[in-house]
Amino acid sequence: MKTLREKLTRYLSPGALIILFLAVVSVLTTLLLPRKQAEGIPFWVSAQAHYQAYKPFVAEWNARHPDRKINLIQLHATALERRMLSGFLAGTPVADLIEPNSTTAAKGFAGPLSSVGYYDLTDHIKAEGLLERINPPSFALFTTRHRIFGLPHDVHPVLLAYRSDLVEAAGIDVSTIETWDDYFRVMSPLMRDRDGDGRPDRYLLEAWDSNAIAISILLLQADGKLLDAQDRPALNDPRNAHILARLVTWFSGPKRVCIDINQDSAIGHRQRLDGQVIGCLLPDWRAGQWKRENPGLAGKLKLMPLPAWEKGGRRTSGFGGTMLGINRHTQHFDTCWEFAKELYFSPRLAEQLFRDTNIITPVKALWSSPIFDRPDPYFNGQASGRLYIDQAPHVPLRSSSPYYANAVANIANAVSELKAHADRTRTFDEAALTRVAQAILDRAQYAMEREVSRNLFLLQEP
């Protein structure tokens, strides 16, 4: 014993010995503590609103199915992603039911189809006629190589929220607006410099070169391409160059109409409340977020379809999404599948989620619910649910590729580079900027092609 003590004190200081002792005691205590065994099939969710809405539903299910209980567990989104992916890759425990957002879900599609950790639901969805019951664009985010790996939770169409109090006080008629050119022309009187400081008192749209969300929404609406039908990079599509050039003229130069506002901060909400911006790109879920975080805007806003890029063009876009997936190694597939359908096709739950979050269901049969036609005080009495549902079928298809987020980031970087060029050279001619944008996108395309080429699984599989 003395020899051991001498050896330890020879190499470790008294402080280090104390730390080592405490570590050993902590490990032993943790191992010996009694563990509470959770009862039921694990179901991981991350969104707080979803968790709260699901709790009574799960309780009712468990009361009806005491031998097939569901164990609802809320995890932080980052924790859910890490535990899910580590489980898929290393075989560590993963819940039987998982509700990831679209970015997390896509990371599970990086390998060959045989290694995707979600259960392939394609045949079940087709056999039970669910393709016809759910809004078609909602499946795109969770379909890879023609196989469907999740039930869609939502649609997330985007509308334009505008300060109706300011617009109507100025006598502006929004019914004359069809395109973005119309919007900026009709709303331009609101940008007058009334306080004489040399700057517009207000800007017309919340968007900026650093706002990747706004850029992706506008690019998709304009039928720009991030990835092609085979999920190969398409950043240097000529259409993208035209879109980026036009966006930069919105962000800088003599025709600037946009302002940079932080989307989720208290300062950003204060700027909106103060009327520094007239219009904002608003997915349905963000409308619910605004109701909770910026109640002072209630009654000062109205919604309208996005102005189109060209006459007759698309009047909406999409951002975000969530799915319910089933672990492909589950021993309880029949129960999980039955529960998933009952949860996502529940009229009561669809109404509850809309009340709590403003999120519309992708289940078309539920769109006739009177709740979607109720006047919404936050949006000055408009039926916000019906306005979002009207645009749901027109939401552009988005890729489920694990490289989709990279493509969005690359496009946003290209916009920033193009804006920097415009500011440096004082070039704001759209045709000239289009040529520069094409060169920037060609470089981004080359870099992303090299990145994607390293994934042989996605390249080889049809």
Q: What is the DSSP letter of 90?
A: H
Taking residues 50-69, what's their average pLDDT? Answer: 96
Cβ atoms within 10 Å, residue 419: 22
Q: At what angle do helices 48-64 and 333-344 cross, to 10 degrees?
A: 120
In angstroms, the CA 424 to CA 426 distance is 6
Cβ burial of 223 (10 Å; 0-12, 13-18, 19+) is middle
pLDDT at site 160: 98
pLDDT in tens, 301-313: 999 999 999 999 9
- Say whether 158-318+396-460 and 41-152+320-394 share the same fold: yes
Residue 257 DSSP SS3: coil
pLDDT at site 28: 74
What torsion, rounded to 10 degrees, do the Cα atoms 150, 153, 155, 158 define?
-130
Question: At the fourth CATH level, which superfamily is domain 41-152+320-394?
Answer: Periplasmic binding protein-like II (3.40.190.10)
Taking each continuous run of H as one helix and of E as one strand, the counts in the chain are 19, 12
Closest by CA position to 345, among listed 353, 356, 357, 333? 353
Non-local (6+) Cβ contacts of 81 within 8 A are 100, 104, 107
**348 vs 1, more confident:** 348
> Following DSSP, what letter does each residue of 66-84 receive, concatenated?
TTS-EEEEE--HHHHHHHH
Cβ atoms within 10 Å, residue 360: 28
Q: What is the DSSP letter of 281?
A: E
In angstroms, the CA 251 to CA 210 distance is 10
pLDDT band at 10 (very low <50, low <70, confident <90, very high): low
Question: Is the predicted pLDDT of residue 459 greater than 60, yes or no?
Answer: no
Q: Give percent above pLDDT 90 in the chain.
A: 83
Closest by CA position to 292, among listed 356, 351, 214? 356
pLDDT in tens, 405-437: 999 999 999 999 999 999 999 999 999 999 999
| Tokens found for residue 126 | 């087709």
Question: Is the predicted pLDDT of residue 1 greater than 80, yes or no?
Answer: no
Cβ atoms within 10 Å, residue 222: 21
> Following DSSP, what letter does each residue of 379-408 receive, concatenated?
GTTB-HHHHHHHHGGGPPP----TTHHHHH
pLDDT band at 264 (very low <50, low <70, confident <90, very high): confident
pLDDT in tens, 144-169: 999 999 999 999 999 999 999 999 99
Cβ burial of 280 (10 Å; 0-12, 13-18, 19+) is buried
Token pair 């669809």 in the structure block, residue: 350
Question: Is the predicted pLDDT of residue 457 greater than 70, yes or no?
Answer: no
pLDDT in tens, 79-93: 999 999 999 988 889
pLDDT band at 458 (very low <50, low <70, confident <90, very high): low
pLDDT band at 6 (very low <50, low <70, confident <90, very high): low
**29 vs 222, more confident:** 222
Note the CATH number of domain 158-318+396-460. Answer: 3.40.190.10
Closest by CA position to 389, among listed 413, 361, 416, 370? 361
pLDDT in tens, 189-245: 999 887 777 789 899 999 999 999 999 999 999 999 999 988 899 999 999 999 999
Domain boundaries, the chain: 41-152+320-394, 158-318+396-460
pLDDT at site 61: 98
Question: Is the predicted pLDDT of residue 137 greater than 60, yes or no?
Answer: yes
pLDDT at site 63: 97
> What is the pairing mode between strands 151-152 and 323-326?
antiparallel
> What is the pairing mode between strands 70-74 and 41-45?
parallel
pLDDT at site 22: 78
pLDDT at site 35: 53
What torsion, rounded to 10 degrees, do the Cα atoms 134, 230, 216, 406 define?
120
In angstroms, the CA 100 to CA 188 distance is 42
Question: Is the predicted pLDDT of residue 340 greater than 90, yes or no?
Answer: yes
